[in-house]
């Protein structure tokens, strides 16, 4: 019987889906954050459940060559880069194993269909967007990220996976708040109904160098807002847009419904593979521009278009994949539930002189059946859903549409495997799964999967 608070010397035999090490005591699994397969560690048991427990490393007795010293000083506190203690080679190996495990155990698929991950040249400073919560901890103004599994904000001054401009904007924001004694909406992890400032969002176009700063507040009447605007304009190279987003609700949702333009326009621009895109505060745009082109080219390869196909691009966001598909398709229909994203998608098509795309606003599980009823049949369907995967009604609609090819883009191997199993029930065979690392130093992995109709 494993006892809480007791110390054990254990051999780490595997990794969990979040990158934590797994050891066993008489068959009872212990999840150990920060431990690597092959290591011998002394562990203190911090939590026990009926079928598994959690341990905290007291001492690493024997280590492995896969372990590296994390570059970030916030690694042990921040809930973001949970596998930064792994070499990048080990990170890719871990992610490959995770994809194989999910697809085989959940989807019932052969591990042989999963190819080696396509990694980055440099797995640092790759993100073009960051959303930093603002709060007070022990009376000190903090701007940063949440600690793992909590709402406690860690004061981050230098994040190694964000663009450097984010560090500079967060520093300026912190100084402005302190100088003017503006109350944040979170104090010691608890919502402060009298508080004003919630988040600071920074977006950057890596090709254009254009920067957008979005201050999220509980009210449109933010004190000293002109000073904030002037500070950002005078200090940030490439600043093209400063927005105030109003979100008065006690919610975990970051952005509210109202945007006020304080400086410049309400969008910035960036390029992917020759296409130019407008990006607004709430629109989806891949966060790793260095790997996005790799991802989209793989989607095009799997779609295997000849120029005669009708394509549905589901969860199309601002239409970035839609435009890539348009290069080799007869017509592409993009579907997205967010109005603002579809507005951007239409503008993106216009500025790129693409005339063989059409966009529709609405839930995919409702729009796709409506297109089918109009007699519009897809030869190829591309889906790029959120982490929770596809709605079952959408999968049913795809199964009834019976496209020859489905290309599934996923950021979560577990929900991907679940959905692939459902699509197999509609007569589809999963041909190939290509992991692409968009999220270095984290446990997340993107996948592009090709399915073909077999019956």
pLDDT confidence of residue 166: 97
Strands (E), 63-210: 129-137, 140-146, 153-155, 186-187, 190-191, 197-204
- Give the model confidence (pLDDT) of 200-249 as tens digits: 999 999 999 999 999 999 999 999 999 999 999 999 999 999 999 999 99
Residue ranges of domains in the chain, CATH in brackets: 7-62 (2.40.50.140), 96-121+288-453 (3.40.50.150), 129-272 (2.40.50.1070)
User: Rounded to an integer, what distance in angstroms lies between the CA atom of residue 381 and that of residue 405?
Assistant: 7
Angle, in degrees to the nearest 10, between helices 88-105 and 413-424: 30
pLDDT confidence of residue 455: 67
Please give the helix or strand (H or E) that residue 336 lies within, else none.
strand 331-336
pLDDT confidence of residue 254: 95
**Beta-bridge partner residues of 244:** 215, 260
For tokens 């290509």, the residue is: 434
Instruction: Please enumerate, by residue number, every residue annotated as part of a binding site for S-adenosyl-L-methionine.
Output: 286, 315, 336, 384
**292 three-state secondary structure:** helix
User: Rounded to an integer, what distance in angstroms lies between the CA atom of residue 181 and that of residue 141?
Assistant: 9
pLDDT confidence of residue 227: 98
pLDDT confidence of residue 77: 86
pLDDT confidence of residue 278: 86
The reply to whether 159 belongs to the active site is no
Q: How many degrees, rounded to 5, is the angle at CA 211 between CA 207 and CA 212?
A: 135
Helices (H), 16-150: 88-105
pTM score: 0.92
Candidate list 72, 78, 390, 411, residue with the active-site label: 411
Instruction: Please enumerate, by residue number, every residue annotated as part of a binding site.
Output: 286, 315, 336, 384
Residue 446, token pair as written in the block: 């993107």
| Contacts for 439-442: CB closer than 8 Å, 24+ residues apart | 439/288, 440/88, 440/91, 440/119, 440/120, 440/123, 440/124, 440/126, 440/161, 441/80, 441/81, 441/83, 441/84, 441/91, 441/123, 441/124, 441/160, 441/161, 442/80, 442/81, 442/82, 442/83, 442/161
Nearest to 155 by CA among 178, 126, 180, 182: 178
Residues of the chain with pLDDT under 50: none
pLDDT confidence of residue 147: 86
């Amino acid at each position: 019987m494993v006892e809480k608070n007791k110390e054990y010397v254990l051999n780490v035999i595997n990794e969990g889906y979040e990158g934590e090490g797994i050891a066993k005591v008489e068959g009872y699994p212990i999840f150990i954050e920060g431990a690597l397969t092959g290591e011998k560690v002394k562990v203190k048991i911090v939590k026990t459940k009926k079928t598994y427990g959690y341990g905290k490393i007291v001492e690493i007795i024997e280590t492995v060559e896969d372990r590296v010293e994390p570059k970030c000083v916030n690694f042990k506190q921040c809930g973001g880069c949970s596998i930064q203690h792994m070499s990048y080679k080990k990170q890719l190996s871990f992610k490959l194993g995770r994809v194989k495990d999910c697809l085989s155990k959940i989807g019932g698929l052969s591990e042989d269909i999963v190819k080696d991950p396509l990694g980055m040249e440099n797995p640092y400073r790759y993100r073009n967007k960051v959303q930093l919560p603002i709060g007070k901890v022990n009376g000190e103004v903090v701007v940063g990220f949440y600690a793992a599994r909590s709402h406690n904000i860690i004061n981050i001054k230098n994040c190694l996976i964000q663009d450097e401009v984010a560090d500079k904007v967060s520093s300026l924001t912190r100084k402005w708040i302190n100088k003017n004694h503006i109350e944040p909406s979170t104090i010691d992890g608890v919502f402060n109904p009298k508080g004003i400032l919630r988040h600071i969002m920074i977006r950057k176009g890596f090709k254009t160098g254009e920067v957008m700063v979005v201050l999220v507040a509980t009210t449109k009447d933010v004190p000293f807002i002109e000073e904030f605007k002037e500070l950002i304009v005078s200090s940030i190279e490439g600043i093209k847009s400063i927005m105030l987003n109003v979100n008065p609700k006690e919610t975990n949702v970051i952005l509210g419904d109202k945007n006020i333009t304080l400086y410049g326009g309400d969008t910035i621009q960036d390029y992917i593979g020759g296409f130019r895109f407008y990006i607004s505060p709430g629109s989806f745009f891949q966060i790793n521009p260095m790997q996005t082109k790799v991802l989209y080219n793989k989607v095009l390869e799997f779609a295997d278009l000849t120029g005669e196909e009708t394509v549905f691009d589901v969860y199309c966001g601002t239409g970035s994949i839609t435009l890539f598909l348009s290069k080799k398709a007869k017509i592409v229909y993009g579907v997205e539930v967010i109005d603002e994203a579809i507005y951007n998608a239409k503008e993106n098509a216009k500025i790129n002189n693409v005339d063989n795309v059409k966009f529709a606003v609405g839930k995919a599980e409702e729009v796709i059946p409506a297109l089918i009823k109009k007699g519009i049949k897809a030869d190829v369907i591309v889906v790029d859903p959120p982490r929770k995967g596809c709605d079952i009604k959408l999968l049913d609609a795809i199964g009834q549409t019976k496209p020859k090819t489905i290309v599934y883009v996923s950021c979560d191997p577990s929900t991907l495997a679940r959905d692939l199993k459902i699509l197999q029930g509609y007569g589809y065979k999963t041909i190939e799964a290509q992991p692409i690392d968009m999220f270095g130093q984290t446990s997340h992995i993107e996948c592009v999967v090709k399915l073909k109709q077999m019956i």
